């Protein structure tokens, strides 16, 4: 599967067809899924993001009896990247995100919105892997979220001293 990050719309395929850099990301997400703590829903999710530096950060969902206290896997991966003091703050964003779960492995709406805030740009890739079928779905952040609640560019224009 040859991917052009600038023009990718929607592609489906299998793990074996992925380029090595995305396979590495999916492998980390699979590993993180095994670490998930989901005693209530039994829905285990693993995620991984590749930062601008090339470093991979993983995350797994961690449930709490009060569901609002639950941490999503994609959120945890982005948080780990965002708090990495070894990376300059302006480079704490991802070029690709992988999510591994049942039912398609596509991030939920909350996580897609979270991805918008931490993606390097709207051409950053999201890779969803269904653990039951092995089906892989790939699209850019732009295609997953054509209309968003948050636009980082407009925030930059309004932040700072008045």
* 17 in catalytic set: no
Distances (CA, A) of 69 to 57, 66, 112, 149, 153: 21, 6, 18, 22, 29
Strand partners for 10: 139
Catalytic residue (choose from 16, 17, 34, 74): 74
Indicate the pairing of strand 10-14 with strand 135-140.
Answer: antiparallel
**Are 36 and 53 a contacting pair, CB within 8 Å?**
no
Residues annotated as catalytic are 74
């Amino acid at each position: 599967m040859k991917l052009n990050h600038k023009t990718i719309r929607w592609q489906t395929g299998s793990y074996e067809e992925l380029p090595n850099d995305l396979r590495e990301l999916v492998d980390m997400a699979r590993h993180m899924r095994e670490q998930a703590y989901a005693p209530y829903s039994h829905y285990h999710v693993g995620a991984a993001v590749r930062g601008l530096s090339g470093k991979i950060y993983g995350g797994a969902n961690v449930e709490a009896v009060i569901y609002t206290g639950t941490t999503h896997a994609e959120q945890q991966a982005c948080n780990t990247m965002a708090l990495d003091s070894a990376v300059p703050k302006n480079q704490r964003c991802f070029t690709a995100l992988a999510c591994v779960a049942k039912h398609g492995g596509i991030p939920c709406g909350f996580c897609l919105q979270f991805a918008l805030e931490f993606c390097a740009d709207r051409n950053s890739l999201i890779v969803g892997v269904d653990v039951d079928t092995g089906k892989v779905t790939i699209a850019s952040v732009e295609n997953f979220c054509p209309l968003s609640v948050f636009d980082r560019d407009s925030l930059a224009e309004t932040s700072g001293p008045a």
